[in-house]
């Protein structure tokens, strides 16, 4: 199928051709006709599947059909998203697809001055992309009028839950018109998100393009067992051994992200960090330099990285493993996007074994273990397991660096086996609902 088969208007087809899009992704192919039929939609799709275009394209086309003429543009479509970076990315997509249409979009988010956003709202817009806090703030001040809303998109609903924004979402639902078309997207469907979807959707049609909580098939995954204090040296080793010139590295904390940048600087490796303590201009500059490939390494916390959409990003490194499996899925989804190949590399210290086991259970597979590297932890009493068994046994020694070998050769000649790592006694999950935006 081609985009013209979806009965798109000429200006949108021209815009898609300009950015090199000819064939719709599965989520686009399924969702666009449903939205055109004015049905509510429940989309269960992972990051990197093309879901932004899946809702932006039909919304823009349907808005362009409208015969409504008013003295000032009214907000007729609202896209609610959890982070600044993702909001900016979505607005860029709307602007790309609507460049030949008489429609105006605006993005509003916190961390920057309100006046430019207020001025734009006064002039009138058709599409508003917003984060919850700034949206409700501007609405409370009387700058946002949602009475004419026709389309409401709730994007990354599961991340809204993780970040503690569900209360804001419920507050917004009471504000917007009951008569509207609602498009609800979430990579995973935990019970509270399913309950929210049931509340705000009317007879929705569900589109699910990949199994819930699974990872993209084209992403090659592997894990390195390593002492916590050796992670910085292992990162340098992996960058050199795999000849990685462009990589997104995940840190669990803002302080940790800054420390990684300092460690890389000592080796003359260009890098920058994006997290909640960075100014919006610093975050955008770092992201721009990374997209332009003038920056080799971008270090990010989970929430700050939510809107990162990099073409042909081949590598993602989990310097720290997340303690929520869904976060792992979102992280590695930064690579292998739009059907491209990608590789996700994870470092796992002794305290993180419980997180690794939870991740493997969630994605229903065992992540291959790279055993032959200079900083390997010795694994005792563990036999190789078949992929998918996720059996939890054995315990590592925190003293030996002599990696074991197996019959499975990994990338670059490394020996690999499945990572049926031992269960750590420290299974207490720290509260990961961090407001690290």
Q: pLDDT tens digits, residue range 165-190? A: 989 999 999 999 999 999 999 988 88
Domain-embedded: residue 430: no
Buried residues in 413-423 as b, exposed as e (16+ CB within 10 A):
ebbbbbbbbbe
Quick one: which H or E segment has residue 249?
Answer: strand 247-250
Q: CA-to-CA distance for 298 and 309, rounded, in angstroms?
A: 13
One domain for residues 299 and 366: yes
The DSSP 8-state label assigned to residue 209 in this structure reads S
Domain-embedded: residue 429: no
Whole-angstrom Cα Rg for the chain: 23
Domain-embedded: residue 214: no
Crossing angle for the helix pair 26-36 and 51-65, to the nearest 10 degrees: 30
**Residue pLDDT, tens place only, 45-98:** 776 678 899 999 999 999 998 755 555 789 999 999 998 888 988 999 999 999
Whole-prediction pTM: 0.63
One domain for residues 269 and 153: no
Domain-embedded: residue 407: yes
Domain-embedded: residue 88: yes
Measuring CA to CA, how many Å separate 350 from each of 222, 322, 328?
16, 14, 18
Top pLDDT among 118 and 377 is at: 118
Quick one: which H or E segment has residue 184?
Answer: strand 181-186
Contact 436, 275 (CB under 8 A): yes
Q: What average pLDDT score do residues 388-402 get?
A: 37
One domain for residues 238 and 266: yes
Say what the pLDDT of residue 401 is: 34
Say what the pLDDT of residue 318 is: 97
Q: CA-to-CA distance for 43 and 207, rounded, in angstroms?
A: 5
One domain for residues 244 and 138: no
Q: Is 139 helix (H, G, I), strand (E, B) or coil?
A: helix
Q: What average pLDDT score do residues 21-37 get?
A: 92
Place of tokens 């979806």: 6
One domain for residues 229 and 199: no
Q: What average pLDDT score do residues 97-114 get?
A: 92
Q: Using the predicted structure, report yes or no on whether residue 432 has a pLDDT greater than 60.
A: no
Beta strands in 289-432 (DSSP E): 297-300, 315-318, 342-348, 368-370, 378-380, 395-397, 408-409, 415-418
Report the alpha-carbon angle 429-342-94, nearest 5: 90
Q: Mean pLDDT, the chain, as a whole number?
A: 82
Q: Is 434 helix (H, G, I), strand (E, B) or coil?
A: coil
- Which pLDDT band holds residue 419 (cuts at 50, 70, 90)? low
- Which pLDDT band holds residue 216 (cuts at 50, 70, 90)? low
Q: Using the predicted structure, report yes or no on whether residue 370 has a pLDDT greater than 70.
A: yes
Contact 186, 157 (CB under 8 A): yes
Q: What average pLDDT score do residues 355-380 get?
A: 85
Q: How many folded domains does the chain comprise?
A: 2
User: Left, alpha or beta for 365 (phi > 0: left; psi -120 to 50: alpha)?
Assistant: beta
End-of-domain residue from the set 169, 189, 208: 208
Say what the pLDDT of residue 415 is: 40
By percentage, how much of the chain surpasses pLDDT 90? 53
Contact 342, 247 (CB under 8 A): no
One domain for residues 325 and 371: yes
Copy the structure tokens of residue 79.
Answer: 């896209």
Say how many CA atoms lie within 13 Å of 234 toward its Cβ. Answer: 28
Intra-chain end-to-end CA distance of the chain, in Å: 38
One domain for residues 243 and 176: no
Domain-embedded: residue 213: no
One domain for residues 230 and 195: no
Q: CATH number for the domain including 162?
A: 3.40.50.300
- Which pLDDT band holds residue 386 (cuts at 50, 70, 90)? very low
Q: What average pLDDT score do residues 206-227 get?
A: 77
The DSSP 8-state label assigned to residue 412 in this structure reads G
- Which pLDDT band holds residue 212 (cuts at 50, 70, 90)? very low
Say what the pLDDT of residue 68 is: 58
Say what the pLDDT of residue 57 is: 97
Overall size of the chain counted in residues? 437
One domain for residues 283 and 413: yes
Top pLDDT among 169 and 302 is at: 169
Q: Using the predicted structure, report yes or no on whether residue 420 has a pLDDT greater than 60.
A: no
- Which pLDDT band holds residue 14 (cuts at 50, 70, 90)? very high
One domain for residues 283 and 310: yes
Q: CA-to-CA distance for 327 and 167, rounded, in angstroms?
A: 21
Residue-range definition of the domain harbouring residue 281: 219-418
- Which pLDDT band holds residue 149 (cuts at 50, 70, 90)? very high
Domain-embedded: residue 340: yes
Domain-embedded: residue 295: yes
* Report for 248-252, 352-356, 376-380, 433-437: range of highest mean pLDDT: 248-252
One domain for residues 152 and 293: no
One domain for residues 253 and 117: no
Contact 79, 24 (CB under 8 A): no
By percentage, how much of the chain surpasses pLDDT 70? 80
Strand bridging mode 415-418 / 368-370 = antiparallel
Q: How many CB atoms lie within 10 A of CB 343?
A: 21
Contact 308, 248 (CB under 8 A): yes
* Report for 96-110, 151-165, 406-420: range of highest mean pLDDT: 96-110
């Amino acid at each position: 199928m081609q985009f013209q088969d979806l009965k798109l208007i000429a200006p949108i087809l021209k815009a898609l051709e300009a950015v090199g899009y000819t064939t719709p992704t599965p989520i686009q192919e399924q969702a666009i006709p449903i939205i055109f039929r004015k049905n509510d939609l429940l989309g269960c799709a992972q990051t990197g599947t093309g879901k932004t275009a899946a809702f932006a394209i039909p919304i823009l086309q349907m808005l362009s059909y409208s015969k409504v003429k008013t003295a000032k543009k009214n907000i007729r479509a609202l896209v609610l998203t959890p982070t600044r970076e993702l909001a900016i990315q979505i607005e860029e997509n709307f602007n790309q697809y609507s460049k030949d249409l008489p429609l105006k979009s605006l993005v509003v988010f916190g961390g920057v001055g309100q006046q430019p956003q207020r001025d734009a709202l006064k002039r009138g817009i058709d599409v508003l992309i917003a984060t919850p806090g700034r949206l409700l703030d501007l609405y409370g001040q009387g700058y946002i009028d949602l009475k004419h809303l026709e389309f409401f998109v709730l994007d990354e609903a599961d991340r809204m839950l993780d970040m503690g924004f569900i209360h804001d979402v419920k507050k917004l639902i009471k504000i917007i018109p009951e008569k509207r078309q609602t498009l609800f997207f979430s990579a995973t469907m935990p019970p509270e998100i399913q309950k929210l979807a049931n509340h705000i959707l009317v007879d929705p049609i569900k589109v699910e393009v990949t199994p819930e909580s699974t990872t993209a098939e084209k992403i090659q995954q592997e894990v390195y067992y390593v002492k916590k204090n050796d992670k910085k040296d292992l990162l340098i080793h992996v960058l050199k051994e795999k000849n990685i010139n462009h990589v997104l590295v995940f840190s669990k904390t803002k302080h940790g992200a800054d420390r990684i940048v300092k460690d890389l600087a000592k080796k003359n490796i260009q890098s920058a960090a994006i997290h909640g303590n960075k100014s919006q201009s610093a975050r955008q500059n770092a992201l721009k330099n990374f997209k332009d490939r003038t920056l080799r390494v971008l270090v990010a916390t989970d929430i700050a990285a939510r809107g990162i959409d990099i073409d042909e990003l081949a590598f993602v490194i989990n310097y720290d493993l997340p303690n929520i499996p869904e976060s792992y899925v979102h992280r590695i989804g930064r690579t292998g996007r739009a059907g491209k190949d990608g590789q996700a590399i994870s470092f796992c210290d002794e305290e993180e074994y419980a997180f690794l086991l939870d991740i493997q259970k969630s994605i229903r597979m065992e992540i291959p273990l790279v055993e032959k590297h200079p900083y390997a932890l010795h694994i005792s009493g563990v036999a190789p397991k078949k992929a998918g068994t996720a059996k939890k046994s054995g315990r590592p020694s925190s003293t030996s660096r002599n990696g074991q070998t197996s019959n499975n050769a990994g990338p670059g000649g490394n020996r690999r086996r499945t990572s049926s790592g031992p269960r750590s006694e420290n299974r207490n999950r720290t509260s990961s609902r961090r407001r690290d935006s």
